[in-house]
Structures are given as C-alpha cells and as structure tokens.
Amino acid sequence: MTKIHAIAASALSKTYDITSGFFNKKESLIALEEISFTLLEGDTLGILGESGAGKSTLAKLLVGAETPSSGLLLIDSKDVTNLTTRERLSGHRKVRIVYQDPYASLNPRLTISSLLDEPLRNVTKLSKQERRKLIIKVLNLVGLKSEHGRRLPHMFSAGERQRIAIARALILDPVCIVLDEPLSSLDISVQSQIVNLMLELQKNLDLSYVLITYNLPVIKHMCDQLMVLCDGRMVEYGPTASVLESPKHPYTQDILNKKSKTSSSSTNVKKQYPGCNYCDRCNYVSEHCYSDKPQQHLMGSQLVSCHKVEQINNTIKIRNK
Ligand code: SF4
C-alpha cells in the first residue's frame, strides 16, 4: 500500500527582524532557509544539528507556533503555510509536540484529565462524555490507568510525566508528533521504556515523528530519514543508516566525530555569509565557499549541499584504502 505524506515542506524559510549594535541597526536574521523534505505516515525524520542550527524554529513552524516567511508547508495534504493565528490552532492540530522537560510543559495546578481535556475543548465539538471516553482511551494507550486522570503532575515520576506529555500530544489524533529531545531529562532505564512506547504507538497508530535529538543510538534505532542542519540550512539529508555510516558533508562528518566547535546558541552574533554557512569552520574551505551558496548534490541516496562534496569524499575514499 502506498504511504501518504504526513508532512511535505518545500523551500520553507523563517527570517526574523532584529536590531543590533550601538546604533540599533536593523538586520534580518535567517533562522531557517529553504528547507524541503517529505515525511511519510508511519516514518520518523531525525533532525541533527548544534544549538542555533534551526531545529527549534523548524519545530515551531511545524506545530504552528510561528508562520513561515516563505515556502510551502502541507500537513496531512492541507496547505497550512499562511494561516491566521485563529486558523493555526485547528490547522496544526494534526502536528503536536512533546518537549524535553515534561514537568515544565504540564500545568502543575491541573489534574491529568483536565490537561488532556483542554485541547479537546479548544479544538473539537465533542461532548463531555465523549471527551471523557477519549481521555481514558489515550491514558491506556500510554500505559496509564483511568484513575491517574484525577492526579496532579507532581504525583508522577519523570517517566510517567513523559507518558502524560505523549498522551496530551495524542489526544487530538495527530498524524505527526515532534519529539524535542524527549529523553534527555530521563534516566537510561526509563529512556528505553519511552522509546519502546513511542515505537509501539507509531506501529499501532501509523504515527509519524520528527525527532530532534543528539542521541545517536536513538536516531539510529528510530529514524528512517536524517536531516542535518547547520546555521539554518539543510546540509545533508538522506536515509539514516547511510548518513550515519557514510556522512558526506564536512559538517556532518565533524559533528559525528565530535570535532566541530560548539556553536553559539545566540545566532544573532554570528556572521552569515552569502556562500556556505560552514565556511568559518570547514577544513576544506576555498575562496568561493564564502561567496557562492552551495547547490544540493545527490551522492548515492544522500542530498548534500557542498561545493566540493565529490572531491572531499574521493579524497576520503583514497585515504581509507
Ligand atoms: S562548501 Fe566549502 S566551506 Fe562549505 S562545506 Fe563545502 S568545502 Fe566546506
């Protein structure tokens, strides 16, 4: 059976107007530049990149917290690119998010049932009884019992709170969940339980995930495709196994080898070149890398944005012989 697109993004960009320096000079900061990808139902797309790479901006565009400056975004085959604030609430209901810290993302004063009921009341026309039935069903899906609904978030362990956050994401019957570092606040033993839960839900509900994480074993285990972002641009994109085993872009090679210097999360102090975003740190840089924006090259099954990708990878092949 042919799989359908849960998400399709074409040349998706986000630019912010900022003021900088002593004279409050107005500048444009490109947080995300011409990102294109498709995510099929039941698949997982991993997003890899340092702080300030554009991962959070992409997540905000997907869940409708921000509108794109340009490009096209389809969710469940519907164009959600230019929705008003009011329309975004229902237009993006099919993409939900689970954050790194479940406790911070759950209102401590609301019972779990109220937390799950809130989005249903805001977006659907279900009756109280229908909502109650759905809440119990979703609690069971994440391995919790109906009586847990009467409790407050602080009465749960970190792992259980992440299950509640997943339940809250599931309550509107999404096609995709953005998982923003969903394991980093959990103990190793609990991490594997949450990974298993996410995989089980994916299989049973045909859910798609966009997984933002630095955790390479989890990326390897969960992701079908992997996108590497560097300062707002997609530098490499392809099947996860190929990208991890044979990274083609110098940035991907460096972050996988942990050689890259840590980027500042404050992107507005970074110099943005019209050419390649990695030219300040790349060992293979040439003069035209500063001025000419690299086009995407297909190397095997990977899309790579680098002027010298063939030359670099031929040299690596010869060196490894
Ligand atoms: S385009 Fe130039 S600076 Fe950028 S990654 Fe390739 S070789 Fe390095």
| pLDDT tens readout for residues 34-88 | 999 999 999 999 999 998 899 999 999 999 999 999 999 999 999 999 888 878 8
Within a domain: residue 161?
no
Structural domain contains residue 178: yes
CB 162 within 8 A of CB 98: yes
- Say how many residues make up the chain: 321
- How far, in Å, from the CA of 253 to the mean position of ligand 1? 12
**Looking at this protein, which amino acid is placed at residue 132?**
R
Residue 244 lies in a domain: yes
Distance of CA 16 to the CA centre of its chain: 19
Per-residue pLDDT band for 23 (boundaries 50, 70, 90) equals confident
Tell me how far apart the alpha carbons of residues 118 and 168 are, in angstroms, rounded to a whole number: 9
Taking 80 as the threshold, does the pLDDT of residue 224 lie above it? yes
d(CA 129, CA 83): 31
* CB-CB contact of 164 with 142 (8 Å): yes
**Any domain includes 207:** yes
Q: Is 84 helix (H, G, I), strand (E, B) or coil?
A: coil
Token digits for 227? 């996108």
Positive/negative CA dihedral, 292, 298, 303, 309: negative
- In this structure, the residues whose C-beta lies within 6 A of any atom of ligand 1 are 250, 276, 278-279, 282, 284-285, 289, 294, 306-308
Residue closest via CA to ligand 1's atom 3 equals: 279
3-state secondary structure of 148: helix
308 CA to centre of ligand 1 in angstroms: 6
Ligand 1 nearest-atom number relative to CA 307? 1
Q: CB under 8 Å to 104, separation ≥6 — which residues?
A: none
Domain carrying residue 74: 5-94+172-320
Any residues with CB less than 8 A from the CB of 86 and at least 6 apart, and which? none
End-to-end Cα spacing for the chain:
42
Amino acid identity of 318? I
pLDDT at residue 318 is higher than 80: no
To which residue do tokens 């993302």 refer? 105
pLDDT at 264: 42
How far apart are the CA of 279 and the centre of ligand 1, in A?
Answer: 6
How large is the average pLDDT for residues 136-153? 96
- As a three-state string, the secondary structure of 233-293 is EEEEEEEHHHHHHCCCCHHHHHHHCCCCCCCCCCHHHCCCCCCCCCCCCCCCCCHHHHHCC
Residue closest by Cα to atom 6 of ligand 1: 306
Ligand 1: centre distance to CA 255 (Å): 15
Judge whether 300 lies within some domain. Answer: yes
In a domain, residue 136? The reply is no
Mean pLDDT is lowest, of 109-113, 127-131, 152-156, 272-276, for: 272-276
Phi, then psi, of 7 in degrees rounded to 5: -140, 135
Residue 130 included in any domain = no
Mean pLDDT over the full length of the chain = 90
The closest-lying atom of ligand 1 relative to the alpha carbon of residue 284 is 7
Q: pTM, whole model, 2 decimals?
A: 0.92
Question: What is the 246 CA–ligand 1 centroid distance (Å)?
Answer: 17
3-state secondary structure of 114: helix
Of 39-53, 59-73, 129-143, 268-282, least confident by mean pLDDT is 268-282
CA of 276 to the centre of ligand 1 (A): 6
Instruction: Please give the single-letter amino acid code of residue 257.
Output: N
Q: CATH no. for residue 247?
A: 3.40.50.300
Query: Any idea which of 15-24, 54-63, 165-174 has the lowest mean pLDDT?
Result: 15-24
* Residue 33 resides in a domain: yes
> What secondary structure does DSSP assign to 9-60, as a single string?
EEEEEEEEEEEETTTTEEEEEEEEEEEEEEEETT-EEEEE--TTSSHHHHHH
Q: CB–CB of 62/7 below 8 Å?
A: yes
- Residue 321 DSSP one-character state: -
Q: How many folded domains does the chain comprise?
A: 1
Tokens describing residue 160: 């259980």
